[in-house]
Amino acid sequence: MSKSVKQLILALNKEYEIYKKVLEIAKQKRRIIIEGRIKDLDGITSKEQAMIISIGKLENIRQSILKNIANEFDTNEVQNISELSEHLDDESKKEIFDIRDKFDDILKNIKNENDLNSKLIKQSLEYIEFNKNLLTSLENEGSTYGSDADEKDIKSKSNLFDVRI
């Protein structure tokens, strides 16, 4: 196994560890959304952004390593694992494919968590909109005197908010 391939495996494993943390944060985010703790949601989003920056840095490192591997194997460029595997020994190939499988699983789980969180946020926004509409459409019944001194019922719309959001 070449030094560059070892570096690639190390970088991929570090990236995988960060994705595991991203998945845990997505699960925490779900609990926060369900419990309606908006302030905590802001804090967890900051953690998520920091991890995204770390993933971006590791992606740059991974791209550099892949360029080195392409130079070692005297090829133009290595675009994906299939191209890379053509140049690897069996041990390296197995390790790289195992990492790929782990990435497939964790990325599916992250996507599922993010989809669920998105649905929960949408439901919360719909609930807020429903309540806002309910409050803005309250009608007050009052009375006033007509021209013949009879009391007449009037309906006036009471708007709690001036603008529809």
pLDDT given for residue 20 in this prediction: 96
The C-alpha atoms of residue 90 and residue 97 are separated, in whole angstroms, by 10
pLDDT of residue 131: 84
Q: Which helix (H) or strand (E) segment is 19 a member of?
A: helix 3-35
Question: What would the pLDDT profile of 14-26 be if each residue is shown by its tens digit?
Answer: 999 999 999 999 9
Query: In 3D, which of 135, 104, 115 has the Cα closest to residue 26?
Result: 115
Confidence (pLDDT) at 141 = 43
What pLDDT, in 10s, does the model give residues 110-158? 999 999 999 998 988 888 888 888 887 764 444 455 555 555 555 555 5
The ranges assigned to domains in the chain are 3-106+113-122
